[in-house]
């Protein structure tokens, strides 16, 4: 955390990857008294200028000083060791990879998820949460468009979707980040472990950060921002359009009510979905082997031995 109380610059970054539990980790880490949360959940302040998700008034417009507006409530607060910026898109942003390593006393967390399962979650999120896909599009068709990339008439122009296949080849990105940050300040977390053993993983993160891990004794690890199956897409689009008019604290109160009204139970994987996942597993086989070798771990290392019918990891009791 910057010592100058007129400028607050984060020094703890959860920089990737999208659809790998970063929203939940943001909540769990921000609850720790040594970590100061940003005023918004996902800042995307250090985005490249050509990315459609880049915020107006980001780093390229307002520079370092512009960060302060997201942490005004933390200025002068005692006990804060870290200010946190959780923006999973930083994983593939040159602006973030150039800026963050130059900061003093910074730590970077990278959450990785088995590529095929991450892409399946991204599909559900794009279809339901943000309505970016045709309602009739199934997962196998989505995979076909992933291979088309920017040539896809549906995914083209949506960078998080059109480049999702390349972004799931983690090895080049991990090497660049690790070399830029240094092994003592860079930590990789597996989503599957975060879901199955949230207490153990969060304690490990606290130790990495040098903050008291006992805070998480008895802590309730509630997941956040899970992909949903919406009943009414038009109602969902309206709620997303006008949610900014509702105070954040009220949105958290109303969210369970909204989900009860406009979402339904998760649908198990179909045989066609499983075949599409298998083709993705084959596609990423060499990439996963390279990552495992680099991390000096056996393959497969994603911890998917216990899954529900939708292919999601189960929590340990």
For the chain, the DSSP string reads --S-TT-----EEE---TTSSHHHHHHHHHTSTTEEPPSSS---TT--TT-TTPPTT-HHHHTGGGGGGGSGGGTT-TT--EEEEE-GGGGG-HHHHHHGGGSTT-EEEEEE--HHHHHHHHHHIIIIIS--S-TT--HHHHHHHHHHGGG-TTTTT-HHHHTHHHHT-HHHHHHHHHHHH-GGGEEEEEHHHHHH-HHHHHHHHHHHHTS-GGGGTT------S---EES-HHHHHHHHHHGGGS-HHHHHHHHHHHHHHHEEPPPPPPHHHHHHHHHHHHHTHHHHHHHHHHHT--SS-S--SSB-TTSPBPPP-
Pairwise pLDDT comparison (236 vs 303), residue with the higher score: 303
The pLDDT assigned to 255 comes to: 57
Show Cβ contacts of residue 262 under 8 Å, excluding neighbours closer than 6 positions: 230, 231, 232, 235, 236, 239
Q: Is the pLDDT of residue 80 over 80?
A: yes
Q: What is the pLDDT of residues 84-113, one digit of tens each?
A: 999 999 999 999 999 999 999 999 999 999
The pLDDT assigned to 309 comes to: 45
Q: What is the pLDDT of residues 210-235, one digit of tens each?
A: 999 999 999 999 886 555 555 555 65
The pLDDT assigned to 3 comes to: 47
Residue 84 pairs with which residues in a beta bridge? 12
- Please state which of the ranges 150-154, 240-244, 289-293 shows the lowest mean pLDDT: 240-244
Q: Is the pLDDT of residue 245 over 80?
A: no
What are the structural domains, with CATH classification, of the chain?
A: 12-295 (3.40.50.300)
């Amino acid at each position: 955390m910057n010592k100058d109380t007129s400028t607050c610059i984060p020094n703890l970054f959860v920089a990737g990857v999208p659809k790998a539990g970063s929203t939940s980790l943001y909540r769990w880490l921000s609850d720790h008294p040594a970590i100061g949360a940003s005023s918004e959940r996902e800042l995307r302040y250090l985005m490249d200028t050509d990315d459609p998700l880049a915020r107006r008034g980001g780093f390229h417009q307002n520079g370092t000083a512009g960060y302060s507006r997201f942490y005004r409530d933390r200025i002068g607060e005692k006990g804060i060791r870290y200010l946190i910026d959780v923006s999973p898109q930083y994983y593939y942003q040159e602006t973030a990879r150039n800026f963050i390593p130059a900061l003093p006393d910074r730590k970077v967390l990278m959450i990785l998820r088995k590529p095929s399962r991450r892409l399946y979650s991204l599909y559900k999120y794009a279809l339901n949460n943000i309505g970016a896909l045709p309602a009739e599009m199934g997962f196998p068709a989505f995979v076909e468009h992933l291979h088309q990339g920017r040539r896809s008439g549906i995914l083209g122009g949506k960078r998080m979707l059109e480049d999702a296949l390349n972004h799931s080849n983690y090895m080049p990105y991990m090497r660049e980040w690790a070399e830029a940050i240094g092994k003592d300040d860079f930590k990789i977390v597996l989503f599957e472990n975060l879901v199955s053993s949230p207490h153990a993983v969060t304690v490990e993160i606290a130790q990495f950060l040098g903050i008291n891990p006992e805070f998480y004794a008895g802590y309730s690890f509630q997941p956040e921002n899970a992909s949903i199956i919406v009943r009414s897409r038009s109602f969902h689009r309206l709620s997303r359009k006008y949610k900014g008019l509702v105070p954040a604290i009220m949105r958290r109160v109303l969210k369970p009510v909204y989900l009860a009204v406009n979402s339904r139970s998760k649908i198990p994987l179909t045989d066609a979905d499983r075949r599409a996942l298998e083709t993705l597993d084959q596609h990423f086989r060499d990439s996963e082997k390279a990552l495992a070798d680099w991390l000096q771990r056996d393959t497969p290392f994603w911890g998917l031995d216990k899954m529900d019918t939708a292919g999601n990891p189960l929590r340990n009791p």
